[in-house]
């Protein structure tokens, strides 16, 4: 069996390789689209800043969960085939949209689902991600990803396998879910990504920031001031500065009150290792503190201990 022959294949080099990264440059992928729906690793502003080269794209290839996922993909594939009796075909490579060359993705593989060729995707999941897969569910970010791959490959089915990495005796070796393309969902997804591309990437006009999450991006976009450059304060800027001062004043007052309560509790506990309560205990724990010395420092913090 072989995969479809009419894909718009950009490269068959391995994902993450220098050749693949070069071919993927200037393209939006499945994980990028998830960011536009608020379920990706980045905010829309961060995605825009990386696309327009206002900030350098982070190299995530060395992150533990990324390395683990890459290393375990053959294991997920083998377990999936064992459980479903479906052989997984090789990835067709980095595929670009037939009419939107800036839209592309690399499926982990292809598989026949009910006699029809479809997309196959492999994932690993930790303990705290299991609830996202409960009741036959698939996390939204992965639904977006495989919908893009189905659009790029012209298929209407997909199968996604997820291997738990915290093994237990009653745990299935691999979870798997079959998906069928949802035309309404796919249309909305495409409308969103095309609007983002045309409104922000082509024009280089930034999207509205998520100011709770975008501070690091702002710092990286504007690492230092330009000598002699000034901007006029707007009414909104004046209002926001006044609000910031108000919040800072509240923070100072709360911080002092918090310190006072902590000091009382520290004096109460004294040299004891444990304060026993009716529903919970209090004890000291050692926590690392970032410092300017080579060796990390630690400080003691009182923490609530569940019974």
Question: Lowest-pLDDT range, 65-79, 125-139, 204-218?
Answer: 125-139
pLDDT of res. 72: 78
pLDDT tens column, 3-48 = 445 788 999 998 888 898 899 989 998 889 999 998 988 999 999 9
pLDDT value at 275 more than 50: yes
pTM for this prediction: 0.78
Comparing 67-81, 98-112, 142-156, 272-286, the range with the smallest average pLDDT is: 67-81
pLDDT tens-digit series, residues 53-64: 999 887 666 666
pLDDT of 299 above 70? no
pLDDT 10s digits, 218-271: 999 988 888 888 889 899 989 998 998 899 999 999 999 999 999 999 899 888
- Ramachandran angles phi, psi of 15, nearest 5°: -55, 135
Q: What CATH number should be reported for the domain whose range is 9-201?
A: 3.90.320.10
Residue 64 confidence (pLDDT): 62
Tally of CB atoms within 10 A around 180:
13
**Domain-wise residue ranges, the chain:** 9-201, 231-261, 271-307
Average of pLDDT values for 277-294?
73
8 A C-beta contact, residue 305 and residue 283: yes
Burial class (CB in 10 A: 0-12, 13-18, 19+), 48: buried
Alpha helix ranges (H) inside the chain: 18-24, 30-36, 44-51, 64-84, 140-153, 183-196, 215-221, 235-269
d(CA 106, CA 139): 19
Tell me how many degrees the CA angle 100-103-104 measures, rounded to the nearest 5: 125
């Amino acid at each position: 069996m072989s995969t479809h022959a009419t894909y718009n294949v950009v490269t068959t080099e391995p994902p993450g390789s220098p050749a693949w990264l070069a071919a993927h440059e200037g393209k939006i992928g499945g994980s990028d689209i998830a960011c536009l729906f608020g379920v990706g690793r980045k905010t829309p502003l961060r995605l825009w800043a990386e696309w327009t080269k206002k900030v350098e794209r982070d190299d995530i290839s060395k992150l533990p969960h990324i390395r683990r996922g890459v290393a375990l993909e053959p294991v997920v594939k083998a377990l999936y085939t064992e459980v479903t009796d479906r052989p997984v075909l090789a990835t067709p490579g980095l595929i670009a949209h037939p009419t939107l060359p800036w839209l592309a993705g690399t499926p982990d593989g292809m598989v026949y689902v009910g006699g029809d060729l479809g997309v196959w995707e492999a994932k690993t999941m930790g303990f705290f991600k299991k609830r996202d897969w409960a009741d036959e569910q698939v996390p939204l970010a992965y639904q977006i990803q495989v919908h893009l791959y189905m659009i790029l490959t012209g298929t209407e089915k997909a199968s996604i396998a997820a291997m738990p990495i915290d093994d237990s005796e009653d745990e299935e070796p691999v979870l798997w879910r079959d998906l069928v393309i949802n035309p309404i969902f796919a249309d909305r997804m495409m409308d969103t990504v095309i609007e983002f591309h045309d409104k922000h990437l082509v024009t280089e006009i930034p999207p509205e920031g998520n100011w709770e999450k975008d501070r690091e991006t702002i710092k990286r976009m504007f690492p230092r001031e330009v000598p002699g450059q000034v901007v006029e304060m707007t009414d909104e800027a004046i209002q926001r500065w006044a609000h910031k001062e108000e919040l800072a004043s509240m923070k100072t007052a709360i911080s002092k009150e918090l310190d006072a309560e902590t000091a009382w509790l520290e004096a109460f506990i004294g040299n004891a290792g444990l304060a026993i309560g009716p529903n919970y205990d209090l004890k000291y724990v050692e926590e690392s503190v970032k410092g300017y010395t080579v060796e990390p420092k630690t400080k003691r913090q009182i923490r609530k201990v569940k019974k």
